[in-house]
Structure 1
């Protein structure tokens, strides 16, 4: 990535910290299989954090059932929590979402979500760490 982030580590450091699947998704822009992560059906109140650096990314109050097979949210926890880049892989143009703190690939955002934003942040559960409230 060409951006500079608050948290920067060597690829060896990321490999030591993350599981192989977390590394594949967050550092190599991979995608987990749909319907495979428990966060897709998680219903508890809490906050979803970046698995790589721990930054708060999404509040559970913005999570919704999109039917896509991945955890989906209509808004980040605050402005600037996530960044966006154009992803032109797979012969299409999509908007990739990454952690603004460390650059970890999270998933993609689409303009087909519910109000009030109309956005669907479709994320890889393996890129997230959930902290339940209470």
Structure 2
């Protein structure tokens, strides 16, 4: 998680893989077990994330909250078939934008077991271009 950070650049190649399949095997039997997101930007300004892969998150995959001037470009956000099985993942939003402004999502592949891109209350000046959206609802 990045919190209250500014002027940050994270450039791939590289990525983060989580044990989403294992998590959902437990969570579906014990709903009190809480998940986590792979990348969360909270209260950040002037952030660039590019060329990264995020795989098999147990919950939201990339979250931008209370942040401004955030660029997400060339991302691969995916879930394996094992994670998406019959009793698999839900609430695995690809990119969730919460109370943020000037967020730009470009040239990315986003796959989820729920919403591919979510723009929540309090957000404005959001732009998405050149996205491939898969499996989401």
TM-score range for the pair, normalised by the shorter chain length: under 0.3
Determine which structure has the larger helix proportion and give its number: 1
User: Relative contact order: is structure 1 or structure 2 higher (C-alpha 8 Å, sep ≥ 6)?
Assistant: 1
State the TM-score, normalizing by the size of structure 2.
0.26
Determine which structure has the larger strand proportion and give its number: 2
